[in-house]
Amino acid sequence: MQIIFGTLAIILAFVCSCFSAVFNFLFPNPEVIAIRENLDMNIKSYQIEFHEDTRGWFGDGEEMIIFRPNRKQIKKIETEWKKTPVDPGIAPLIFPENEYNGLELTKYIPKTEGFWFYKNRNEFHSGYAYNFSFAFFDGEKVYYYELDT
């Protein structure tokens, strides 16, 4: 009797893991899609350690994702991203001098040595709106920040 229950439990666990893998492949998390589109990295949901999203109805707001890259992704980061310091034109957007500019989620990004990536997703070039993605790798974690105004 125990052998039958054990066998059924193993079969059920296998079926559930297959269903989960297929479901995650067909319907990935939105944060995984954002990283795939903007950083050109194919991460898995289990790599994400932290996610906070303050977006509103029309998509305006901030999003912060912290994940641990694998060895292949680290090699890509070290060869394709820029080494610190962050460009002086971008740094004030990420590391604000005052507390009133609304960038609350950037408090999670460390101010250390590392590699950084910036992508301007702004369709308008007027300067009145900010739509960008910024990522920072400190040697251990990637801090992905997205702002849409």
- The candidate with the shortest Cα–Cα distance to 136, out of 115, 106, 105, is 115
CB 131 within 8 Å of CB 148: yes
CB 39 within 8 Å of CB 144: yes
Structure letter (DSSP) for residue 101: S
pTM here is 0.73
> In the chain, how many domains are there?
1
Indicate whether 22 belongs to any domain: no
For residues 98 and 59, give the distance between their C-alpha atoms in angstroms, rounded to a whole number.
25
Indicate whether 11 belongs to any domain: no
Indicate whether 143 belongs to any domain: yes
The list of the chain residues with pLDDT below 70 reads 1, 16-31, 55-56, 59, 97-104, 123-128
C-beta neighbour count of 117 within 10 angstroms:
19
pLDDT for the residue numbered 26:
56
Indicate whether 71 belongs to any domain: yes
Indicate whether 67 belongs to any domain: yes
Indicate whether 47 belongs to any domain: yes
Query: pLDDT, tens digit, for every residue of 27-68?
Result: 556 667 778 888 888 888 788 888 877 766 776 778 888 999
Indicate whether 133 belongs to any domain: yes
The residues that bridge with 64 in the sheet, in sequence order, are 52, 145
Residue numbers of the domain that contains 119: 30-148
Indicate whether 17 belongs to any domain: no
